[in-house]
Structure 1
Amino acid sequence: MIRLGLSGGIGAGKSTVAKTFIDRGGYHIDADKIAREVVEPGTPGLAALVEAFGDDILTDDGSLDRPALAAKAFVDDESRQKLNSITHPLVGKRTQEMLDAAPDDAIVVQDIPLLVESKMAPFFHLVVIVHADAETRVQRLTSARGMPESDARARIAAQASDDERRAVADVWLDNSGTPDDLAAAAAALWDDRLIPFEQNIRSRTVLRGPLILADPDPGWEAEGARLVNRLWAIVGDKASAVDHTGSTAIPGLAAKPTIDLQVTVADLDVADALADTLADGGFPRVGGIDGDRPKADPATGTVDAGLWGKRLHGSADPARAVNVHLRAAGSPGQQFALDFRDWLRADESARDEYAKVKRQALADADGDLGRYVSAKEPWFDDAYRRVSEWKLNR
């Protein structure tokens, strides 16, 4: 199963994407629909609202008068909090009931207008944002829905900004064209990414990225931040830190287009206990890798291979290559991953030197990842010493 968070500003065209996914077999959970269901006549939710805000929030037939409720519930933060304390647990409970009823191989499409505002993005395998510019949305709301222009602009202004949506979007579907264009893009996303992603999670299949060096991409930082937040949502208090490491965390450095992340845990027993949790979250374990290549302690010259253990997980998402390294807090490998990143961020000459090493290693590897990694190791042995000296002297 994978959970897809679907959102977008009012009038962006989210319903077209939802319908496309539903037509292809998506298990749809509509947050707005649930919010209406839990306060229908005769429900405990409606009774609680009446008790909190008075029976003048009801229409003559006993159903909820939403404008009357809004006039009372949105006058101040205390009233809004009172409303949320009643409705949010009910919506959450019903949503969980629907999730529990979903088939094991479902692609769950959770349609949530305020996904960004409610900071729910990290709890999904993927977040899809449907976008149209504000003027296009105003035109759609006024012509298709008959909404007054002032109301349309006020509704748009009250929601998350485009920048806030971009920060959490794994997929950005542009709806500046026709509905057919948007439906075609959604269908391609379903066929090419979502179906394989769900299948890969169930089969515990890891997708490896291409062995190439890509030019520095400013988008790596945002992607790393999204993945850090997602890993925190998956591992919770079992980790003491989650960090973006590796070459994609170093501005200006050419890198394999694979995001490296480090999850710091108390010990490797905790890492092993997280294996299924991470796999279900979209990051299956990579077999056969139980540690980093040991390096000599700069102070003593000795090598203790037992201190360099780790567990490696990768991504089941066919469109995103990720390495997730689980290392014990305070271990040499855990410390070096952070110190090496920070050294290269601070030292331009070392960064340029490493770029040359990578290019030569890539040329020597002839497309073989193992040979590429091995070709860099002699340089890393000396870099371990240099990083230690830099850390002591900074």
Structure 2
Amino acid sequence: MLRIGLTGGMGAGKSTVARALAERGAVIIDSDVIAREVVAPGTPGLAALVEAFGADILAADGSLDRPALAAKAFRDDESRATLNSITHPLVGQRTAELLAAAAPDAIVVQDVPLLVENNMAPFVNLVLVVDAATETRLRRLVEFRGVDEADARARIAAQATDEQRYAAADVLLDNNGAEGAVEAEVARLWEQRLVPFEANMRAGTAVRPEFGIVEARPEWAAQAQRLIARLQVAAGAAAVRVDHIGATAVPDLPAPDVLEVQITVADRAGAEGIRDALAGAGFPELSASAHEPAPGAGLTEPRRHGSADPGRPAFVQLSVAGSPDQEFAMAFRDWLRADEQARAEYTEVIRTAANEAARLGGDEAWAAYAAVCEPWLTGVSRRLAHRKPEQPE
């Protein structure tokens, strides 16, 4: 299944987006709803809270008096840790049950207000962040939810900053506009990205990007870091390191708009052992026919995976530590970053190769691009043969 993380600051409009996604068939798992369920009257969760914090956290009807609990649970770090040790495992267990109950072809949207704060982004396939200006959010909280303005400001200040949420966002949904605007944006996202993404994952199909060269884009670095975080979680201990490589890893260098990432493993068994985990994270293995050459990522033929996300094409190279492929990928990237003349030389090669690819077009474009680049890369490999890769960033 495709797992989507949905988050945003208080008052940004997550509920509106969740409702629009549900109307299109998404399975919504709301962490706030689950958090209330696991401490409802008669549950082991509520009994554990009473044992830890006392019976005076209960209302007259036996339900949880949340303000009374907050007064005790948030008075110091130890009390907060006690609360989390009780509720977090219960929420996690219930979430796992709901995920297991979802259909294999489901698009599951996990509505998690503190997704960024709890570093959950690497554990889902895509993160949607609903964004609205602080003053707009304050107005909504005060006018529509009846929250005291001072309290609303304090709650917003306690959450992640806009910048932190932007860094985690694969998709930023702007909810500052007119009524209905964000719903239209969700409709486009559903049809053009989420539905194809799920279908690709289920079929084990990586996106086959059309060839094209673009000028360097500042967002490549952040996009790569999000992919790296997901790949590290999927690969687990098998990954010695995970790195952004290739032309998109070099500032100011034109390149195909396809990210390249290298997972370094200790041995071939390590690469085989994470095949299914990478597919589950949204990176199925590339078949021989689907393999698109990615000049600059290596000189031989390591194992390769590709992104199933049509909104962010990527190639993932699995290389054994110390192999020629692994060392060249790192040395080549670092050489380009450090040497202005090398960047100029490679830019000329890229543009020449792109012209040849454009002349042929279609399925032959990638092969033509690689054929022009490969002789130059072979020469570079000899120049860099004795260089060792730098330590992880």
Into which bin does the TM-score normalised by the smaller protein fall?
over 0.9
SS of 2:310's equivalent? coil
Instruction: Name the structure 2 match of 1:159.
Output: 159
Alignment TM-score, normalising by the size of structure 2: 0.94
SS of 1:208's equivalent? coil
The C-alpha deviation readout for 1:254-280, integer Å capped at 9, x for no partner, is: 111100000111222322232222112
Alignment TM-score, normalising by the size of structure 1: 0.93
User: How far is the alpha carbon of 1:111 from its aligned partner?
Assistant: 0.4
Preserved contact between residue 331 and residue 387 of structure 2 (Cα < 8 Å): no
Preserved contact between residue 6 and residue 112 of structure 1 (Cα < 8 Å): yes
Instruction: Name the structure 2 match of 1:315.
Output: 307
Is 1:372 aligned with 2:364? no
SS of 2:256's equivalent? coil
Q: Which amino acid aligns with 2:11?
A: G
Instruction: Name the structure 2 match of 1:222.
Output: 222
Is 1:274 aligned with 2:274? yes
Deviates more, 1:199-208 or 1:49-58: 199-208
Instruction: Name the structure 1 match of 2:70.
Output: 70
Aligned-partner Cα distance in 1 for 2:301–2:268: 8
Aligned-partner Cα distance in 1 for 2:283–2:381: 28
Instruction: Name the structure 1 match of 2:183.
Output: 183
Same amino acid, percent of matched pairs: 55
Q: Which amino acid aligns with 1:259?
A: L
Preserved contact between residue 308 and residue 331 of structure 1 (Cα < 8 Å): no
Instruction: Name the structure 1 match of 2:125.
Output: 125
- Could you tell me which runs of 5 or more consecutive residues in structure 1 were left unpaired when the two chains were aligned: 296-304
User: How far is the alpha carbon of 1:208 from its aligned partner?
Assistant: 2.4
Instruction: Name the structure 2 match of 1:35.
Output: 35
Aligned-partner Cα distance in 2 for 1:361–1:292: 12
Aligned-partner Cα distance in 1 for 2:388–2:244: 19
Q: Which amino acid aligns with 1:327?
A: S
Instruction: Name the structure 1 match of 2:143.
Output: 143
Counterparts in 2 of 1:215-364, with a 5 A limit? 215-288=215-288, 308-364=300-356
Preserved contact between residue 291 and residue 310 of structure 1 (Cα < 8 Å): no
The C-alpha deviation readout for 1:235-263, integer Å capped at 9, x for no partner, is: 11111111100111101111111000001
SS of 1:114's equivalent? coil
User: How far is the alpha carbon of 1:308 from its aligned partner?
Assistant: 4.3
Q: Which amino acid aligns with 1:388?
A: A
Instruction: Name the structure 2 match of 1:388.
Output: 385
- Could you tell me which runs of 5 or more consecutive residues in structure 2 were left unpaired when the two chains were aligned: none
Q: Which amino acid aligns with 2:137?
A: R
Instruction: Name the structure 1 match of 2:81.
Output: 81
Instruction: Name the structure 2 match of 1:19.
Output: 19
Counterparts in 2 of 1:182-221, with a 5 A limit? 182-221=182-221
SS of 1:326's equivalent? strand
The C-alpha deviation readout for 1:310-368, integer Å capped at 9, x for no partner, is: 11111111111100000111101001101100000000000110000010011122331
Cα-Cα RMSD: 1.9
Q: Which amino acid aligns with 1:273?
A: G
Instruction: Name the structure 2 match of 1:97.
Output: 97
Deviation >4 Å, runs of 4+:
289-293, 389-392
Preserved contact between residue 293 and residue 367 of structure 2 (Cα < 8 Å): no
